[in-house]
Amino acid sequence: MDTDIFESLNDQQKLAVNCSLGNKLVLAGAGSGKTRVLTCRVAKLIYDYDIKPSNILALTFTNKASNEMKQRLQAILKISTQGLWFGTFHGICRRILKIHWKEAGIKDFFSILDSQDQLRIIKRIVKSRKLDDNFYDPKQLQSFINSQKDRGLRYDKCNNDDKLYIDIYKEYDEICRQTNSVDFADLILLTYEMFMNNSEILKYYSSRFKNIMVDEFQDTNTLQFNLLKLLNKENCSLYVVGDDDQSIYGWRGARSENIKYFNKQFKDVEIFRLEQNYRSTTNILDVANNLIAKNKDRMGKNLWTNTNQGNPVYFYEAYNDDDECSFIVDKIEQFVESGMKRSDIAILYRSNFLSRRFEEELNSRSVPYKIFGGFRFFERAEIKDVLAYLRVAVNTSDDSSFERTINNPPRGIGEKSISVLREVAKKHKISLWESIHNENTLSLMSSRCVSSLNNYKQIIGSLTSLLSELKLKEIIEKIIDISGLTKYYDTKKNEESLSKIENLEELVSTAERFTHNNLDSENLIQDFLDNASLEAGEYQSKLDSDPLQLMTIHSAKGLEFPVVFLTGLDEGIFPNPNRDIIPGFLEEERRLCYVAITRAMETLFLTCSNMRYMHGSSSDFIPSRFIGEIPNELIEPIKTEFKKKFGNDNYTESNHYDEFSQEEIYDDISQDNVIPFIRVGQRVNHLKFGHGVILSYTGKKDDLKVQVDFEKYGKKWLVLSYTQLEFIN
């Protein structure tokens, strides 16, 4: 056995590894070496406690984590890991059910349904019941069924205001039994039910697995927690590792309180804290610690490191989102020129729609990038849907776009009817659009289907007639509205649908920016569509082996990067206001920010924007409350680079107003620029910033900017044409 690895452990890690048997909770902070501790603990059990590998159960949340532990353990012990019971909750439960299928009440050789398989069954049920899938959305029903199973509830034990939800759950379960299929949630629920109903099998496994290890314990749901309670019998040792400060999956069923109540639910719990961080510099950790300290009811932990202070944590308050993106990409290019790999740099954001402006900037500079764990903006399904409507409006012979839009969102035009249209089009050598104008074709359809086709014709006809009348932005808005896509997503009220709505809103802003950047275009709509196609394909094919990393913070969990740009730290964006209906949402959003900060190893930039182009128009923003929660001495503001980048010689960043005299500013303003109702000392009111006083102004007409000293938020520069200011007499 390789004993050197034990000697390399720090004091906190040694205590957690060398402890006695029994129930243990290891609070492992970000970058504190939890995988090393888990691996060494297993080696300790085998080497010092003479426990057989087959008597140890190690549960993880990803196969990657499980395989990494196996590989490390194999390197330490120099033995095969074949007999180890290491795997995810679902993987281990599948293994048990393959042995005890009869006792679990299922048949041998059962099939496991993936998410898409599950969704197809639910869609068939909705269709067979002739339900409107706008009201009984299959994905929403899928989420309901899975959430009930995650709580350990079958259809006869759950409650819902709409009885049809329960009926569909029942029918879905019956189909699964008839087809000898189980879904992912069932793997755990069936195992739990079998243990509850068969004391002998439960006794066997609780006796066999007297040592159970659990990674990422803060991500366990109700059913997983209860399963562990069942297995944790007398003389059993449950060793769990987690971090309550990194619990960020409440929206998908994880219960952060599981780790908080661990010592109350299990006997004689000993708690260890891993606080020494091996990832980040002192400056980064100080910012993270001070932010997360604002959360109440924490288990208590303070990260520290033996490394030097490192670079300051930089804060850039951009004038607008163009300024923000330009600043970040400039910095990235400087890092690359100095020899750093692009793949060592990550841009993190709270919501997917924020990637769009960065994609534009990176594409314009031919900087290779990768959207980690997601799609590029123009590759996202909801964006393709809107563009397909636009393509049909421009060219009704576009059969591919026709098929994408004809029943999207669902409007009662099934595959059978579409097949009829295809046959007619093929027979008469006409487009699918032309086929729906054929009376003989319509005679083959149901009256409901004909009504839906007529509605679709009206939508496309209306859009076609407006192409020459409306601006590109307005056309996109019209498509989103009359297609019913926003309404369709809005009814779902889940994380995915909210993200789709944000992306649709960002598409409007994208269209407006494209218009401003292509004023000389002879066919703006076609150029916009062509650009979308090129961005979706061309740059992906050019992606080299060293792309810049773009990702949501959720996707970044478990990763680390030498340089991190945490962007979009604007109030109203992060924390995400769409989640404020969820209990404890602000604490979880703060934990999410903490996770983002602790991804940075050497250098961290925090950025926000005073003005952001959203929903097709400019909106004013203030820095996120999370910025305000970090002590000033821990972050180093960067003076705005707007002046030199965008050629505005008069613009000065509000935080540095004192560097310029008011007289100097006025020297740059000619009498021709003065607007009669604006005067220094004029009291104003702003919707977000509240009351303030005008200090100065500069520019002319649409570019006129005013500097206002707000009572609560200090000095801000605002573009008057984009800002709704109330002038108080």
* Catalytic pick among 35, 222, 282, 526: 35
pLDDT in tens, 139-148: 889 999 999 9
pLDDT in tens, 20-79: 999 999 999 999 999 999 999 999 999 899 999 889 999 998 888 888 888 888 888 877
Catalytic (active site) residue 457 = no
Res. 186: pLDDT tops 50: yes
* Catalytic pick among 216, 323, 382, 588: 216
Residue 143: closest CA among 184, 176, 181: 184
Residues whose CB is less than 8 angstroms from the CB of residue 364 and which lie 6 or more positions away in sequence, other chains included? none
What does pTM read for this prediction?
Answer: 0.76
Res. 693: pLDDT tops 70: yes
Question: What is the pLDDT, as a whole number, of residue 280?
Answer: 97
Comparing 148 with 704, the larger pLDDT belongs to 148
- The mean per-residue pLDDT over the stretch 456-479 comes to 93
* Catalytic pick among 12, 13, 24, 34: 34
Catalytic (active site) residue 219 = no
Residue 652: closest CA among 721, 690, 699: 699
Least confident range of 162-166, 341-345, 446-450, 475-479: 446-450
Comparing 574 with 115, the larger pLDDT belongs to 574
Catalytic (active site) residue 645 = no
For a pLDDT cut of 70, what percent of the chain falls above it?
91
* Mean pLDDT for all residues in the chain: 87
Residues whose CB is less than 8 angstroms from the CB of residue 79 and which lie 6 or more positions away in sequence, other chains included? 53
- The mean per-residue pLDDT over the stretch 555-569 comes to 96
* Catalytic pick among 41, 94, 384, 599: 599
Least confident range of 127-131, 230-234, 703-707: 703-707
Q: Convert 462-499 into a string of H (helix), E (strand) and C (coil).
A: HHHHHCCCCCHHHHHHHHHHHHCHHHHHHCCCCHHHHH
Range of 471-485, 580-594, 699-713 with top mean pLDDT: 471-485
List Cα–Cα distances, 558 to 88, 237, 258, 279, in angstroms: 16, 26, 20, 12
- Confidence band of 659 (pLDDT split at 50, 70, 90): very low
pLDDT in tens, 15-27: 999 999 999 999 9
List Cα–Cα distances, 287 to 97, 108, 351, 672, in angstroms: 47, 54, 22, 47
* Catalytic pick among 12, 39, 246, 652: 246
- Sheet (strand 548-552) strand order: 369-371, 548-552, 345-349, 561-566, 600-609, 313-318, 635-637
- The mean per-residue pLDDT over the stretch 443-471 comes to 91
Catalytic (active site) residue 599 = yes
Res. 729: pLDDT tops 70: no
- The mean per-residue pLDDT over the stretch 367-372 comes to 90
Catalytic (active site) residue 35 = yes
Beta bridge partners of 474: none
pLDDT in tens, 471-515: 999 999 999 999 999 888 887 767 788 889 989 999 999 998 888
Catalytic (active site) residue 216 = yes
Locus of tokens 């003479």: 50
Distance (Å, rounded) from C-alpha 147 to C-alpha 143? 6
pLDDT in tens, 257-313: 899 889 889 999 999 999 999 999 999 999 999 999 999 989 989 999 998 899 999
* Catalytic pick among 215, 219, 360, 477: 215
Res. 568: pLDDT tops 50: yes
pLDDT in tens, 675-687: 555 777 888 888 7
